[in-house]
Amino acid sequence: DVKVTQSSRYLVKRTGEKVFLECVQDMDHENMFWYRQDPGLGLRLIYFSYDVKMKEKGDIPEGYSVSREKKERFSLILESASTNQTSMYLCASRITGGAGNTEAFFGQGTRLTVV
Amino acid sequence: AQKITQTQPGMFVQEKEAVTLDCTYDTSDPSYGLFWYKQPSSGEMIFLIYQGSYDQQNATEGRYSLNFQKARKSANLVISASQLGDSAMYFCAMRDLHSNYQLIWGAGTKLIIKP
């Protein structure tokens, strides 16, 4: 089974802290994604990566950065956490190419609260 | 711009009844794919079913089927014989098949199955 693992289920951080959210996948997928999920807004793409050391901004990259030093690991960084970054964060991975129906596989999510 | 609309924020359905979750989409691209995901309270997004824009038949996967009406740009999920375990958030998403990366997400529908 494909497995995408996020390092924490729940996190509470203080305003101004630097926060690291880690994601690891075990299926050798080239593409990895970080989404933010808020009620009534669905999932919004923060950043994605299509290869090691490669990254692309999604729809809402402001206040975030990412790191992909190894193929299996994709980290989301909140440089200086703010209360408006309190949210559920979902990591996903997907193989490159394949048929159009190739789905993305998700981690269990990290619920981040910034106080 | 591409857009997914799920007009039902929440639904209550009696156990064993069939349920239809609505999804409409907007795209000018003739080549696209539509996905449905389930998110139980545990947080993980679970892939349910896929429909390609050129598929001649409606997709089915066990108790899940997709009522694809291309002219109306709708891709409703039908769950037959609902079960208590079907209680979850359900998300409709679309991918432009020319893009390897982006999934556009709806806001989701919270389905609660009553015993």
Distance CA B30, CA B28 (A): 6
Average pLDDT across chain A, whole number: 92
Amino acid letter, A84: N
Q: B99: which residues sit within 8 A by CB, 6+ positions away?
A: none
Predicted local confidence at residue A100, as pLDDT: 61
Cβ pair B101, B51 in contact under 8 A: no
pLDDT-derived band at B15, boundaries 50, 70, 90: very high
Predicted local confidence at residue A98, as pLDDT: 58
Predicted local confidence at residue B98, as pLDDT: 63
Residue of B nearest to A33 (CA): B101
Predicted local confidence at residue A17, as pLDDT: 97
Minimum distance, in Å, between the CA of residue A81 and any CA atom of chain B? 22
Predicted local confidence at residue B90, as pLDDT: 97
Average pLDDT across chain B, whole number: 92
Is residue B97 over pLDDT 70? no
pLDDT in tens, A32-79: 999 999 988 889 999 999 899 999 999 899 999 999 999 999 999 999
Q: Once rounded to an integer, what is the mean pLDDT over residues B3-31?
A: 94
CA-based nearest residue to A115, from A31, A5, A9, A12: A12
Distance CA B102, CA A7 (A): 24
Predicted local confidence at residue A1, as pLDDT: 67
Minimum distance, in Å, between the CA of residue B78 and any CA atom of chain A? 19
Predicted local confidence at residue B56, as pLDDT: 87
Amino acid letter, A23: C
Q: Chain A interface, mutation test: which of B98, B100, B104, most A Cβ atoms within 10 Å?
A: B100
Taking contacts as CB-CB distances below 8 angstroms, the residues of chain B near A43 are 91, 93, 103, 105
Is residue B50 over pLDDT 80? yes
Task: Give the residue carrying structure tokens 């156990």.
Answer: B15
Q: At residue A66, what are phi and psi to the nearest 5 degrees?
A: -140, 165
Q: B112: which residues sit within 8 A by CB, 6+ positions away?
A: B10, B11, B12, B13, B87
Give CA angle at A112 (A111, B3), nearest 5°.
Answer: 70
Give CA angle at A48 (A47, A49), nearest 5°.
Answer: 135
